[in-house]
Structure 1
Amino acid sequence: MTAPASSLGAARERFAHWLFGQALPVWASVGCDGDKTAPALLGAQECLTLAGEPAFPGFKRVRVQARQLFVFSWAALRGWPEGAARAEGIFRFLLHARQADGGWARRLSRTGAVLDPTADLYDLAFVVFALAWYGRLEGSSGQAVQSARATLGWIVQAMSLPDGGFLNCLPDAGEDRQQNPHMHLFEAVLALYQTTGDEKDLALAHAIYALFSTRFQDAETGTLGEYFGPDWQPAAGAAGQWVEPGHHFEWVWLLHAYRGLTGVDTTRQAHALYSFARQHGVAAATGLVHDALDRHGTVIKDGFRLWVQGEALRGLLSHAPEQDAALAVTVATNLLDRYFINCPPGTWIDQLDGQGRGVADRIPTSSLYHIVTAYESLDQAVGHGATGGG
């Protein structure tokens, strides 16, 4: 079944109207933390209450600040008027997390004091990703790109493991190794290369792709593992069987992006991920994408996070834009009609339960990264390059 291009285009128009007309204005005002003269002086809010007001939980995660730096850098590059100023404010606030040894703290106070100096690979990946995007505003010879390169160098020097990959955190807490922060580091390195065009900035992507090929993706089932032991074998027990359709779709998009930048043929690997997630991860009745399965495709977490739907849209449009256009329209429409309603305008419901009912207790700022990247894929698929008036 193929949806007409007009259906995808209509979804894109509705999405653009909501994103540029409602969401970005909300998150540039109440979603930032500052005063009238400098609305992002204290960066971005960690989350909002269900009433759409700042929740002030007493901390700000660095990953959230980095994601919002990406969002407003992207918006500025799309011509959205307030994007550049918000990006600059968040960038200045984010610098409070930079440590003297070259790492970055994991958690700050509302005003920027370090609450948790742990170097977390997940947060570091988003720092590099955000700096790469802000570098497109600042220029590739500016502070942001220099800091992104220095951070990658620090990760390699301080967090590398002898058999490939990196520690989850430093100090090391001895937890299972995880693919997820490596995936986002892969994404960050690709973004940095797209900013600079310098082949040296792509080097780490090749190493992470090798780890994906030999460790993360199971050769027999084609599934993507989440948790691993110290030898990069699947973790013992249920953790080693846990797989997430959202990450399958996210890697599909990333593998196609990597192929486009390097010429490395990732088609077979992307297809295996896509086929599993498409067959087992999508609820037939609604088109909603499940949070978690086991390696046999059995649902083991009965719910539907917002971010999973966004990554599914990216995967669908990058891998099977014609074959699965109808499903892509359904996924985009689900976002608009299930997640972006029954909440304050410009915000979202972050979690639906197995019956499709909202169960979130807050509005997390972090979801906007997934929303923007999903919209970007939809916009590119339709063939537009609309700016802030879209």
Structure 2
Amino acid sequence: MQNPITYLTEHPCSTQSLSESGIAEIRAHYLNVVLPIWRHAGFNAAMGLPFEAISSEDHMPLPPKRYRAMACARQLFVFSEIGDLTHAATLFASLRRYFYDGQNGGWFYSVDENGAPLERQKDLYTHAFVVFACAHYARISGTKAAFDLVDETAKLIEARFATGDGLLNAEVSEDFSATQTGPLQNPLMHLAEAWLAAREATGDSTYDVRLAALLRSVARTFVDEATGCIAELPIGSMDNRIEPGHQFEWFFLCMGSDNPAFVSAGLDRRLARAFDFAERHGVDERSGAVYAALDESGSVIDSTQRIWAQTEYLRALATRGVAADVLGAQIERYRRRFLHARGWVESRSEDGAVSRADMPSTTAYHLATAYASLPR
């Protein structure tokens, strides 16, 4: 079996000589500031669901208009990996209670403030995170129902999202009868992440087969051969773009998992070039912050700096095994620009102004996966 991707107890990188102060500080911030938010102020105990977002000023939840299955799944992953299986069990029960479609199968995108299905379409991104989170919860807790949901959802994805040419649609109708959005990079990337997690949890080599087929399709359809980058839309689409954060994320999935399917698909060589392209064109020299999007030539087309892209850059740097002083300097720039005593800054503009002031429940997933990849 390939080397597993692990999150809160081990790391796949090789850098060992880094001074630990910066890493210890951001990990302590995660444990002592971020996680308590989602156990208490950010958690709707009456419904058993995390609020979508809270205020960064006083941690008051924003008025709930919906609750997303993906957000619940990400929190399930976070609390499973930290070992809080009591809270994780609550989240797992809520995921099944509110979001499972007992009539058509699969998972609703969201429910309203009272827990009734709201956005009823079936999207691949949500289903990928259900597999990912339930796989982690199953591996750590041994819960049979979680293993069963991993298997059931994986088979449903193959049967109901398939395009017929090896790819998977991003969104279909409630009853799976109509395609609403064709293949997109981001849900396919998270499905690769989900297949890796499911393989690790179950030991079932079927997930290796699924991953290999997925990666061949991505390499064939989304790779910009000039740069090695994986574009957001199929190559040749109008208004396509390259997100540096996703290049770093793909780089970690490839190099961190050491799964031979990436090599077979030729993605290891391409993603090494994609890392260089994204770092050269997609990281602000002054602040060290990662931009949101580039065009195929490397010009910045969206200079927003979102925290998730910063964490993916840290994770990719650590996985690449850069010099300790390089990684340490980037951690410090990240800490100063995006973390504060009450939590974090979700996004900034290029000039440093806060462009999103609230703190969404989904971000804890990005922090957990990045920090776990840093040296200990």
TM-score, with normalisation over the residues of structure 2?
Answer: 0.88
Q: Report the alpha carbon displacement of residue 174 of structure 1 after superposing the two structures with TM.
A: 4.3
Q: Report the alpha carbon displacement of residue 12 of structure 1 after superposing the two structures with TM.
A: 1.2
In the alignment, what sits opposite 1:153?
155
Does structure 1 retain, via aligned residues, the 8 Å contact 2:312–2:370? yes
Are 2:258 and 1:259 aligned? Answer: yes
Are 2:375 and 1:364 aligned? Answer: no
In structure 2, runs of 5+ residues without a counterpart are 1-14
In structure 1, runs of 5+ residues without a counterpart are 36-40, 77-82, 385-390
Are 2:98 and 1:55 aligned? Answer: no
Distance 2:263 2:151 in 1: 23
Does structure 2 retain, via aligned residues, the 8 Å contact 1:287–1:330? no
Does structure 1 retain, via aligned residues, the 8 Å contact 2:170–2:184? yes
Does structure 2 retain, via aligned residues, the 8 Å contact 1:225–1:234? no
Q: Report the alpha carbon displacement of residue 262 of structure 1 after superposing the two structures with TM.
A: 5.8
Matches within 5 A, 1:209-224: 209-224=215-230
Does structure 2 retain, via aligned residues, the 8 Å contact 1:256–1:270? no
Q: Report the alpha carbon displacement of residue 372 of structure 1 after superposing the two structures with TM.
A: 0.7
Q: Report the alpha carbon displacement of residue 234 of structure 1 after superposing the two structures with TM.
A: 2.6
Q: Report the alpha carbon displacement of residue 337 of structure 1 after superposing the two structures with TM.
A: 1.6
Matches within 5 A, 1:229-244: 233-236=235-238, 239-240=239-240, 242-244=241-243
Distance 1:176 1:198 in 2: 29
1:103 aligned counterpart, secondary structure: coil
- Structure with bigger RCO (C-alpha 8 Å, 6+ apart): 2
Q: Partner amino acid for 1:21? A: N
Matches within 5 A, 1:279-294: 279-294=280-295
Are 2:160 and 1:162 aligned? Answer: no
Larger deviation, residues 263-272 vs 86-95: 263-272
What's the C-alpha RMSD, in Å, of the aligned pairs? 2.0
2:50 aligned counterpart, secondary structure: coil
Q: Report the alpha carbon displacement of residue 257 of structure 1 after superposing the two structures with TM.
A: 3.3
Distance 1:201 1:227 in 2: 25
Are 2:44 and 1:33 aligned? Answer: yes
Are 2:347 and 1:354 aligned? Answer: no
Distance 2:179 2:203 in 1: 36
Matches within 5 A, 1:317-356: 317-319=318-320, 321-323=321-323, 325-341=324-340, 345=342, 347-356=343-352
In the alignment, what sits opposite 2:34?
23
Q: Partner amino acid for 1:154? A: L
Number of residue equivalences = 353
Q: Report the alpha carbon displacement of residue 135 of structure 1 after superposing the two structures with TM.
A: 0.5
Summarize deviations over 1:33-67 as a string: whole Å, max 9, x none.
Answer: 115xxxxx522111112321111322101111111
Matches within 5 A, 1:122-161: 122-139=125-142, 142-161=144-163
Q: Partner amino acid for 1:269? A: R
Does structure 2 retain, via aligned residues, the 8 Å contact 1:290–1:304? yes
Distance 2:226 2:69 in 1: 37
Q: Report the alpha carbon displacement of residue 264 of structure 1 after superposing the two structures with TM.
A: 3.7
Decide whether aligned partners of structure 1 residues 261 and 197 sit closer, same or farther in structure 2, where only a CA change above 3 A counts: farther
In the alignment, what sits opposite 2:121?
118
Distance 1:270 1:355 in 2: 29
Larger deviation, residues 257-266 vs 110-119: 257-266
TM-score, with normalisation over the residues of structure 1?
Answer: 0.85
Decide whether aligned partners of structure 1 residues 56 and 339 sit closer, same or farther in structure 2, where only a CA change above 3 A counts: same
In the alignment, what sits opposite 2:17?
5
Larger deviation, residues 112-121 vs 246-255: 112-121
Q: Partner amino acid for 2:145? A: Q
Does structure 1 retain, via aligned residues, the 8 Å contact 2:248–2:316? yes
Summarize deviations over 1:5-55 as a string: whole Å, max 9, x none.
Answer: 243x222110121111221112211121115xxxxx522111112321111
Q: Report the alpha carbon displacement of residue 260 of structure 1 after superposing the two structures with TM.
A: 4.1
Distance 1:102 1:138 in 2: 25
